[in-house]
Structure 1
Amino acid sequence: MTPPPAPVRDAPTGPRASPRSLSGLWPFVRPYRARVALALLFLLGAAAATLALPLALRTLIDQGLVAAQPGERVMALRTHFWTLFAVAGALGVFAALRFYSVTWLGERITADVRNAVYAHVIRQSPAFFETTRTGEVLSRLTTDTTLVQTVIGSSLSMGLRNGLMGLGALVMLIVTNPYVMAQVLAILALVVVPALAFGRRVRRLSRASQDRVADASAIAGEVLNAIPVVQSHGQEAREAARFARATEAAFDTARRRTRMRALLIAFVIVATAAALLWGLYQGTQAVLAGRISAGHLGQTVVYVILLVSSVAVLSEVYGDVLRAAGATERLMELLSARSAIASPAQPRPLPPVSGGSAVALEGVEFRYPSRPDTAALLDFTLHVRPGETVALVGPSGAGKSTVFQLLLRFYDVQRGRVLLDGVPVQAADLHALRQRIGLVPQDSVIFSTNALENIRYGRPDASDDEVIAAAQAAFADDFIRALPQGYHTFLGERGVRLSGGQRQRISIARALLQNPPLLLLDEATSALDTHSERMVQAALEAAMRNRTTLVIAHRLSTVQRADRIVVMDHGRIVETGTHAELLARGGLYARLAAMQFAADGPAPA
């Protein structure tokens, strides 16, 4: 039995997101270990140059100003200023190299994460998308990866640099003023406990803030993909208000997170500054008492400034790291989602066929993961011979489209077997299985590219002539050539520049170009007018030759020439036969035909 995947967006929003969550990025960092080591080397150089500045300043004050003769004093000052300039130059070079290296790493790793998440998500079974909204996934691919890039490419580097500088400054202060700094450290220890409490609250709010942004993105994605429906019902104001409520919820959560981060920053800076100013006061008293020199005090002042500024930067970086940790956790949730539909470790090869594939569904029972209490198919058995055309007919919800989804192995059955050319679909390689099947769905999908590439999607290596031949077979060539740039005309997002019938014919041409031994037509002529339907029906009849075809149609006029009509109801087969045989029996098919032909006119002979 196929278990439903856990809903991704229901992940806990508690204190799980900690800096440790960033360890999930290690597989993406590992390939660039050499560049990471180089960036750390540049970072160490920049930190060392910064820590050397106070030492050069102390030497300038204590030695450059002590010469008795003005000329000697000028020469000494010139030497010490050149030393200061050399240190500053080294700092500039190392800082620039660090910035480039770290920024490159941030951009590269973020691109790898984004590619990995996207490639993983599009391989998930339809069951995954029954519980995960597309807008949620898009939010993680954009907002969350941007947060990760900010931390890896900027904040983490700043944090490491300031951590090293702060630690170095602290060590130097302890070495030069051990007694005073012992008091300062005792005071600083009191800062840690409240800061940790603030940090936990920030972590929770960071994760909640990202979830609220994802909610708004999901609403926007859903509505923008249904603009004609929204506008035709006059619901623009309502949808704008719904989006506004979602963004306000995101803003409110972000406001609380920002307020908590601001309090954390203020507390850390004020408490640290108070402790260090106490130490600085003790230093000035030591100068007045003659225990240390003026240069020593100047060095101490600069180290205190470095330490305080480092703590201030670290407090801000820590908030960014917490946000990135929450984003990383959400991305890792997507990467950890495992699809129940995957190729077996040792797939069985599909045998070569000519004249169409053999299809068999034997004793199938299937329930959708989102509707486990309702059987979509129950004790369903169907055998289709190679080259045979079988029409599936029945009321909505009878299970017709489910048959197609099981053949394509979008889902696995809970009981029974589904076979293609004698091989169970679960034992076949997934790509090879789907390459053997051509699908013309009820809702034609048109990609944001030109007509040529939309048709070529069925076989990416096809030549332009083959694409045009497929379009001609689907009676799409005339209207495509009438477009402004012909086959190179951009069709708009979701094919908005085409009519429904034109989109359907593009979809049919795509399937014909693939030239599969098994063709699945799901209401393939539903969007066509009578004239177009006749043309496409003739093209489809030609395409059905030498291949197996399964047809789903509510319009019974499109299935009358099928070799066999299978009538379904509530997931079971209730009748099988030709159009004439089923009419003569007076069963469900006859009732459906009577209702339809009563509306459309007399049934054809």
Structure 2
Amino acid sequence: MSKPSPSSTDSDASRKGSLATLKGLLPFLRPYRRQFVLAGIALLFAAASTLAIPAAFKKMIDLGFGASSAGQSIEHVDATFLALFGLAAMLALATAARFFTVSWLGERVTADIRSAVYRHVVQQSPEFFETTRTGEVLSRLTTDTTLIQTVVGTSISLALRNTLLFAGGLVMLFITSPKLTSIILGLLVLVVLPIVLFGRRVRKLSRDSQDRIADASALAGEILNAMPTVQAFTHEQREAARFGGTVEEAFRTAIRRVRARAFLTMLAILLVFGAIVFVLWLGAHAVLQGSMTGGDLGQFILYAAIVAGSIGALAEVMGDAQRAAGATERLLELLGARSDIQDPLHPKALPPRTANGARLSLQDLSFSYPSRPESAALSHLSLDIRAGETVAVVGPSGAGKTTLFQLLLRFYDPQAGSIRLDGVDIRDLALHTLRGAIGIVPQDTVIFSANALENIRYGRPDASDEEVFAAARMAAAHEFIERLPEGYASFLGERGVRLSGGQRQRIAIARALLKNPPLLLLDEATSALDAESERLVQRALEAAMLGRTTIIIAHRLATVQRADRIVVLDEGRIVEAGSHAELVALGGVYAKLAALQFQPHTPAAA
């Protein structure tokens, strides 16, 4: 699978992230052609108004103050200033229209990019999240998209405006004095080359700076999600120091970028304005010699200032564009990630649901995780589960129990063999169809930052309040929820911090029961419950298993004794199968596990 390399730096980043990368934004810009046209019209009016101002000044100087003005000076001055006011009014209106339009475009395109990246990321398989840190993704969704917003909402407009001013000003410079303009252009060619070369270093430092910020975000997200553990081990100061070190590294990288960009700006202004001052010195001599009028020189000075200012602005915009190019590259890496787990081109439908649930068939399954291809998590595993049957899967840690659930949910595809749900290969089913037919209670319960009602309703968003209450009662969660300060409307805190482990588990069970799937997967569903809660939930689960097929993973064998069948996994293979009594009598792996859990421990002899 193609994946982004989150902290990829340096050699690759220096080769990529060029301004050509910004072409990747075109699919997000195309839907708003009309707004771009309106912004372009406003931009043309604003640039034309700006370019007309020096010509008005020339007329004011030559006709208002020149020797040929005779007695018409007042009239010419009044007319010129009236024209200048008209130009200023048109410039103000056009600039306001341009600012609003391009700002709207920046906000709109940035929102579209954030939504597209997030929508794409949440569809990735677990393999993607094994190699990509959550903080890295969040950094790209926030910091990187903000840089793109700057480019789309400001820099593109400034670049076009100053390009028009540069081109228009250059034409007017040639009209005013071809000789002086030719000299100034020759000098500009000499000064632009070092500016372009140094700009490449700014681009590389911009990408490095974004990588360091992403590292800091990733570390902060990881630690904040593990605060109870950090505090239990009294590592607050250590983690604060680690984050401080990461922030300082990001700061040092940013300062290197700022220093390089400041030097680039200084270099551009110094060389460009130095060349212009030299040419203006030549122009002053031309006026003294009578080959130019004062108005011509004034007009030339203003157009030269416009051209020089536009070059300086373009150099600054180039710095923003180079930073945005690095940000765009990182976002395109995320959008370019493709999961191996895809919907089939022609998905099949499941047969109508029966009263007993789903029939499941595992045929010669073999699977190795992509990160550990040499180690088989499952090896030639075959198992048929009848509709309505409850099967417990037990075995030592690392035997392949959780892997089996991941394959059933098609988080991964096996390298060999197949899984059939009601006779249909799950690879022929749309992912939503497959996963919609499966309910799961994971070992690590996920509680969202919402109230109790919405946390349970996550199992079936269209469920009524009464259906949510019924599911909570089945999961023995109704009573403790009712005792919360606001009952079902109580906010449960981020990751359910306001609940005990057993309460979180019962919320997860209620969520799965509300979904009412034909196949129910219970991964250590009672692992976090005390004896009383476990008794209540076991009774609820027994009722919930009616009418559906259930597969239970459990290390605590007391929770699986009443299963229709117990399957023992060891090193990815089925080594035993039968009832609790049959497996104990067999004296194999299950009997050893049962002996460890059920036989009383006697103290060692002194």
**Is the TM value for this pair above 0.5?**
yes
Work out whether 1:510 is the aligned partner of 2:511: yes
Supply the distance in 1 between the matched residues of 2:516 and 2:132 (Cα, whole angstroms): 33
1:441–1:521: 8 Å Cα contact kept in structure 2? yes
CA shift at 1:597, angstroms? Answer: 1.8
Residues 69-468 of structure 1: matches in 2 within 5 Å?
A: 72-354=72-354, 355-468=356-469
2:63–2:73: 8 Å Cα contact kept in structure 1? no
Work out whether 1:587 is the aligned partner of 2:588: yes
Tell me the alpha carbon deviations over residues 67-107 of structure 1, each in whole angstroms, 9 at most, x when there is no partner: 99998533332221110000011000000000000000000
1:361–1:381: 8 Å Cα contact kept in structure 2? yes
One-letter amino acid of the counterpart of residue 490, structure 2: T
Q: TM-score, normalised by structure 1?
A: 0.97
Local SS of the residue matching 1:10: coil
One-letter amino acid of the counterpart of residue 484, structure 1: P
Local SS of the residue matching 1:84: helix
One-letter amino acid of the counterpart of residue 296, structure 1: D
Tell me the alpha carbon deviations over residues 301-357 of structure 1, each in whole angstroms, 9 at most, x when there is no partner: 111221222111111110000000000011011101111111111011111121110
Cα distance change on mapping 1:68 and 1:26 into 2, 3 Å = closer
Supply the distance in 2 between the matched residues of 1:212 and 1:286 (Cα, whole angstroms): 55
Supply the distance in 1 between the matched residues of 2:208 and 2:146 (Cα, whole angstroms): 17
Supply the distance in 1 between the matched residues of 2:470 and 2:366 (Cα, whole angstroms): 41
Tell me the alpha carbon deviations over residues 354-412 of structure 1, each in whole angstroms, 9 at most, x when there is no partner: 11101111111101111111111011111110000000001111100111110100000
Supply the distance in 1 between the matched residues of 2:552 and 2:5 (Cα, whole angstroms): 34
Query: Corresponding residue for 1:10?
Result: 8
Identity %: 59
Tell me the alpha carbon deviations over residues 161-204 of structure 1, each in whole angstroms, 9 at most, x when there is no partner: 11211221122112211111111111111112211211111111
CA shift at 1:205, angstroms? Answer: 1.1
Unaligned runs of 5+ in 2: none
1:520–1:549: 8 Å Cα contact kept in structure 2? yes
Local SS of the residue matching 1:575: strand
Query: Corresponding residue for 2:33?
Result: 33
Moved more, 367-376 or 508-517: 367-376
1:5–1:127: 8 Å Cα contact kept in structure 2? no
Residues 569-580 of structure 1: matches in 2 within 5 Å?
A: 569-580=570-581
Cα distance change on mapping 1:165 and 1:599 into 2, 3 Å = farther
One-letter amino acid of the counterpart of residue 478, structure 1: E
Supply the distance in 2 between the matched residues of 1:134 and 1:6 (Cα, whole angstroms): 13
Tell me the alpha carbon deviations over residues 116-154 of structure 1, each in whole angstroms, 9 at most, x when there is no partner: 000000000001111111111111001100000011101
CA shift at 1:281, angstroms? Answer: 0.9
Supply the distance in 2 between the matched residues of 1:360 and 1:244 (Cα, whole angstroms): 53
Supply the distance in 2 between the matched residues of 1:264 and 1:600 (Cα, whole angstroms): 76
2:4–2:334: 8 Å Cα contact kept in structure 1? no
One-letter amino acid of the counterpart of residue 215, structure 1: D
Query: Corresponding residue for 1:53?
Result: 53
2:565–2:578: 8 Å Cα contact kept in structure 1? yes
CA shift at 1:534, angstroms? Answer: 0.5
Supply the distance in 2 between the matched residues of 1:69 and 1:373 (Cα, whole angstroms): 94
Cα distance change on mapping 1:271 and 1:291 into 2, 3 Å = same
Supply the distance in 2 between the matched residues of 1:87 and 1:332 (Cα, whole angstroms): 43
Supply the distance in 2 between the matched residues of 1:39 and 1:285 (Cα, whole angstroms): 42
Moved more, 185-194 or 532-541: 185-194
2:393–2:569: 8 Å Cα contact kept in structure 1? yes
1:4–1:369: 8 Å Cα contact kept in structure 2? no
2:63–2:69: 8 Å Cα contact kept in structure 1? no
1:446–1:493: 8 Å Cα contact kept in structure 2? yes
Tell me the alpha carbon deviations over residues 233-263 of structure 1, each in whole angstroms, 9 at most, x when there is no partner: 1111111111122112211221111111111
Moved more, 14-23 or 162-171: 162-171
CA shift at 1:5, angstroms? Answer: 4.4
CA shift at 1:66, angstroms? Answer: 5.1
4+ residue segments displaced more than 6 Å: 67-71
Unaligned runs of 5+ in 1: none
CA shift at 1:517, angstroms? Answer: 0.3
Supply the distance in 1 between the matched residues of 2:169 and 2:542 (Cα, whole angstroms): 82
Cα distance change on mapping 1:50 and 1:69 into 2, 3 Å = closer
Supply the distance in 2 between the matched residues of 1:598 and 1:222 (Cα, whole angstroms): 41
One-letter amino acid of the counterpart of residue 95, structure 1: T
Supply the distance in 1 between the matched residues of 2:149 and 2:600 (Cα, whole angstroms): 60
Supply the distance in 1 between the matched residues of 2:326 and 2:566 (Cα, whole angstroms): 54
One-letter amino acid of the counterpart of residue 132, structure 2: T
Supply the distance in 1 between the matched residues of 2:259 and 2:222 (Cα, whole angstroms): 32
Supply the distance in 2 between the matched residues of 1:54 and 1:474 (Cα, whole angstroms): 80
CA shift at 1:64, angstroms? Answer: 2.7
Supply the distance in 2 between the matched residues of 1:15 and 1:99 (Cα, whole angstroms): 34
Tell me the alpha carbon deviations over residues 458-508 of structure 1, each in whole angstroms, 9 at most, x when there is no partner: 101111111111111111111111111111111111111111111111101
Supply the distance in 2 between the matched residues of 1:529 and 1:176 (Cα, whole angstroms): 91
One-letter amino acid of the counterpart of residue 40, structure 2: L
Supply the distance in 1 between the matched residues of 2:272 and 2:72 (Cα, whole angstroms): 42
Supply the distance in 2 between the matched residues of 1:67 and 1:198 (Cα, whole angstroms): 49
Moved more, 66-75 or 51-60: 66-75
Supply the distance in 2 between the matched residues of 1:69 and 1:321 (Cα, whole angstroms): 49
One-letter amino acid of the counterpart of residue 566, structure 2: I
Query: Corresponding residue for 1:526?
Result: 527
One-letter amino acid of the counterpart of residue 189, structure 1: V
Supply the distance in 1 between the matched residues of 2:565 and 2:191 (Cα, whole angstroms): 81
Supply the distance in 2 between the matched residues of 1:362 and 1:8 (Cα, whole angstroms): 37
Query: Corresponding residue for 2:562?
Result: 561
Local SS of the residue matching 1:13: helix
Local SS of the residue matching 2:124: coil
Supply the distance in 1 between the matched residues of 2:181 and 2:250 (Cα, whole angstroms): 44
Computed over aligned residues only, the root mean square deviation of the Cα atoms, in angstroms, reads: 1.6
CA shift at 1:566, angstroms? Answer: 0.4
Number of corresponding residues: 599
Tell me the alpha carbon deviations over residues 527-575 of structure 1, each in whole angstroms, 9 at most, x when there is no partner: 1110001001100000000100000001110000000000111111111
